[in-house]
Structure 1
Amino acid sequence: MNLLRIKEDLSDAHLRLSRAVVEHLDWAECIRRYDREGTLFYLDPPYWGTAGYGCDFTLEEYYRMGELARTGQGQFAISVNDTPEMRDAFKGLTLQTTLIRYTVGQQATEPRGELIITNR
């Protein structure tokens, strides 16, 4: 952050966000409200079986997410950890796998599987 450019940076951010809408809704309600042709949803839910998110996100939520992605009008891109439960929850959608190294603090983990899920 360059404090000498803060005024310009804030002005740029204001222009980029001037047409943005920020909602405080349940994720599924937000999808129902905005689901239409031409909408792109990027969903990055808590990774299944991990701790530290501070919210209760049950396995049923992933199945609900998969159903909305299968039946929605918009385009969906979802990233989750690659586990048998996630593969089952998002069955019928396009699943691509990749390896990713997570960084916690300055420590990098061993590469782990991640799913990139799309409905088109």
Structure 2
Amino acid sequence: MARRSFGVQTGGGSRFDVTRLGPLLEEIHDRLAGVTIECLPWAEFIDRYDSRGTLFYLDPPYWGSEMDYGLGVFSRTDFSRLALRLSRISGPFMLLVNDVPQTREIFGRFAIEQVMTQYTVAGGKPSDVPEIVVTAPASVHPVAAVEDHPLLL
């Protein structure tokens, strides 16, 4: 190979420095103390942790990129399943996904705000693309609205 692949310079040295590994692991250990890490399908995760005090941040694959996470991880039909499940949860949520007509239709029962972000693919020129932030309207969760959640203050 004579070019970069996945951000790695194949013709030069690595940015990895083994002498920094100890302090890095110490910092990670301190930051993750008391954190529970789960590896569950999204629906099981929501079912397990749903409560009025739980704020869900959801970042599913973008519409048209469902296979990017692997076969069977998230399918196109899961967008509708996710919208239905979110309409029934006890607490607030925030979901970020690409802004295409299909996602606006599927999540149309919720509050939707368009935001712009930049994508860069393979070190190319960044391009501005629209995404949507989907949240439950305050009328759905009046006590635990996303805007009032302590984690977002």
TM-score range, shorter chain: 0.7 to 0.9
Q: Please, which of 123, 129, 136 is the counterpart of residue 106 of structure 1?
A: 123
Quote the offset at 1:51 in angstroms: 6.5
Q: Which residue of 2 aligns with 1:63?
A: 80
Amino acid at match of 2:124: Q
Residues 1:79 and 1:73: Cα distance change in structure 2 (over 3 Å): same
Please say if residues 80 and 114 of structure 1, whose CA atoms lie closer than 8 Å, have aligned partners that are also in contact. yes
* Correspondences of 1:5-84 after superposition (within 5 Å): 5-50=20-65, 53=68, 54-56=70-72, 57-84=74-101
Structure 1 runs not aligned, ≥5 long: none
Please say if residues 56 and 94 of structure 2, whose CA atoms lie closer than 8 Å, have aligned partners that are also in contact. yes
The count of corresponding residues between Structure 1 and Structure 2 is 120
Residues 1:15 and 1:21: Cα distance change in structure 2 (over 3 Å): same
The percentage of counterpart residues that share the same residue type is 35
Amino acid at match of 2:77: E
Q: Deviations over 1:42-72 (max 9, x none)?
A: 1111111136603343332111111222221
Q: Deviations over 1:63-84 (max 9, x none)?
A: 1111222221122111111011
Residues 1:41 and 1:108: Cα distance change in structure 2 (over 3 Å): farther
Instruction: State which structure, 1 or 2, has the greater radius of gyration over its C-alpha atoms.
Output: 2
Q: Deviations over 1:58-112 (max 9, x none)?
A: 3321111112222211221111110111011111111110122101221134211
Q: Distance in 2 between matches of 1:2 and 1:42?
A: 33
Q: Distance in 1 between matches of 2:25 and 2:39?
A: 23
Flag the structure with more relative contact order, 1 or 2, with Cα contacts below 8 A and sequence separation at least 6. 1
Q: Distance in 2 between matches of 1:108 and 1:43?
A: 27
Superposition TM-score, scaled by structure 2 size: 0.69
SS at match of 1:107: coil
Please say if residues 101 and 108 of structure 1, whose CA atoms lie closer than 8 Å, have aligned partners that are also in contact. no
Superposition TM-score, scaled by structure 1 size: 0.85
Q: Please, which of 91, 94, 113 is the counterpart of residue 96 of structure 1?
A: 113
Q: Please, which of 133, 137, 152 is the counterpart of residue 116 of structure 1?
A: 133
